[in-house]
Amino acid sequence: MDSRARHFKANSEAALANPVLQANMKMAKGKFVDKRAISIKEIDDFEGTREAGKAVRNKVIENLDLWLEKFEETATARGATVLWAKDGAEICRHVVDIGRKHGIQKAVKSKSMLSEEAGLNLALEAAGIQPVETDLGEYILQINDNEPPSHIIAPVIHKSLDEVADLFHSTHKTPRKTEIPALTREAREVLRSHFLTADMGISGGNFLVAETGSVALVTNEGNGRMVTTLPRVHVVITGIEKVIPTLEDLSLLMRLLPRSATGQSISNYVSVLTGTKAEGEHDGPEHLYFILVDNGRADVVGSDFQDMLRCIRCGACMNHCPVYQTIGGHAYGWVYPGPMGSVLTPLYTGIENAIDLPHAATLCNQCGVVCPVKIPLPELLRKLREKQVEKHLRPWAERMAFRLWAWVANCPTLYGIGTWFGVRYLKWLAGGKQSIPVLGTAPEWTRGRDFPAPEGKTFRELYAKRGGRS
């Protein structure tokens, strides 16, 4: 998938000006928030569970090469073939080669963010292999001119029921339906023939279990099992950071993932797939391939941003992010939206190619509070901003403004005078309102965000009024 992260500001303005999108995002706002809040209460020590999940992920990342070697050894012993991919182009080359080796004409796909990273569907089509998305959300996007997803667990969260009804009517040439059960039934009827005629299934992987050489898939639709058990060839595409040591670790992380993602105690389907079909078994692939992908991940190991590799792709950060809830996922310009995308996209595609994403956050820390493996997302965003300043990637005027601020902040008297005038100027700009509609010295700041109006007195004044007492 080509990155449009450079155009975040323009994308955001377009999203804010789109009344249909704004109405859809308003309806979707908080969809998973309340469910998560209820489901985490089912665990007596949820914070302790988060800490344990963090420890498991850290254990792997700190010795990633060893756990990957262990996984390759056990998976190979179970009949799988393990391949390695440096980037998206190599992912596509591996999958196409596998398809040609086995004479594949059609591939059914379960949801995979890495296939989005690679632009795999276009590569398959170019090679004469028909890709068919079978996750309902991904299928809707595919028949809508291969529209990219806007959320990692709810890819069509930005669309309304009426939009989907119109799309099914125009694509399937069937009577227009507006009831969700009827639409899902129609999708199943269309996809059923694809499941039965495809010779290759492509999936992602939520976790790779080194102990058993297994892939764990967590889904709420039965398509994941159909894709991985019916075709004679199964290809798993997943990042190198997804490996975990044991099935016990999987059990722990499964207490965190569904609750953080959709607010469920457990997902509808949790599949642990190991090896190829054995003699006497009636389902499962004859050939199993794992494509373990770097695509920027190895460079993060040992860096200031290593904590980000703990991510288990639950989407909780975007579910709770006020910025994402306002502009939707497409504004971020690449595969991963929300706070996680604001960190991952610069790390994977280059900080210079996503110049505005580290600033696409209020740093309210709601994302950090809800992250099931305690990734300090606001801190990582702040570090990315520091890297941009160090590399002189921010606009000249902005860099000069921060230098001026640093100089003033180091002069207590000058700072006091400046803040005295500043709060009164800002109060005047507000004109009696709760927020400032246009910030005079930086009008661009208030084009896409609210700037709260101060009360009109500095902290020093208020502190002195209280007699210097807290």
State the average pLDDT for the chain: 93
What pLDDT band is residue 265 in, cutting at 50, 70 and 90?
very high
Model pLDDT, residue 1: 75
Residue 332: phi, psi to the nearest 5? -75, -20
Ranges of CATH 3.40.50.10420 domains, the chain: 45-295
Q: What is the mean pLDDT of residues 61-84?
A: 98
Model pLDDT, residue 16: 92
Helix boundaries (H) for 262-411: 297-300, 316-319, 322-327, 338-349, 366-370, 377-390, 396-409
Q: What is the mean pLDDT of residues 63-92?
A: 98
% of residues, the chain, pLDDT over 70:
97
Model pLDDT, residue 282: 85
Looking at the predicted structure, is the pLDDT value of residue 457 above 60?
yes
CATH topology of domain 45-295: Rossmann fold (3.40.50)
CATH number of 306-390: 1.10.1060.10
Looking at the predicted structure, is the pLDDT value of residue 428 above 90?
no
Looking at the predicted structure, is the pLDDT value of residue 361 above 80?
yes
Segment 111-158, tens digit of pLDDT: 999 999 999 999 999 999 999 999 999 999 999 999 999 999 999 999
Segment 338-360, tens digit of pLDDT: 999 999 999 999 999 999 999 99
Model pLDDT, residue 469: 59
Ranges of CATH 1.10.1060.10 domains, the chain: 306-390
What pLDDT band is residue 423 in, cutting at 50, 70 and 90?
confident
What pLDDT band is residue 444 in, cutting at 50, 70 and 90?
low
Q: What is the mean pLDDT of residues 319-328?
A: 94
Instruction: Provide the strand spans (E) within 72-170.
Output: 81-85, 106-109, 130-133
Give the strand pairing for 81-85 and 269-274.
Answer: unpaired
What pLDDT band is residue 442 in, cutting at 50, 70 and 90?
low
Looking at the predicted structure, is the pLDDT value of residue 219 above 90?
yes
Looking at the predicted structure, is the pLDDT value of residue 39 above 70?
yes
Strand, helix or coil at 224?
Answer: helix
What pLDDT band is residue 270 in, cutting at 50, 70 and 90?
very high
Looking at the predicted structure, is the pLDDT value of residue 470 above 70?
no
Cα 37 to chain centroid distance, Å, stands at 20
Asked if 256 and 312 count as a contact pair (C-beta separation under 8 A), the reply is yes
Name the nearest CA neighbour of 81 among 90, 94, 93: 94
What pLDDT band is residue 445 in, cutting at 50, 70 and 90?
low
Name the nearest CA neighbour of 239 among 278, 279, 192, 205: 205
Strand, helix or coil at 269?
Answer: strand
Separation CA 256–CA 358 (nearest Å): 26
Segment 294-318, tens digit of pLDDT: 999 999 999 999 999 999 999 999 9
Model pLDDT, residue 448: 65
Asked if 112 and 237 count as a contact pair (C-beta separation under 8 A), the reply is yes
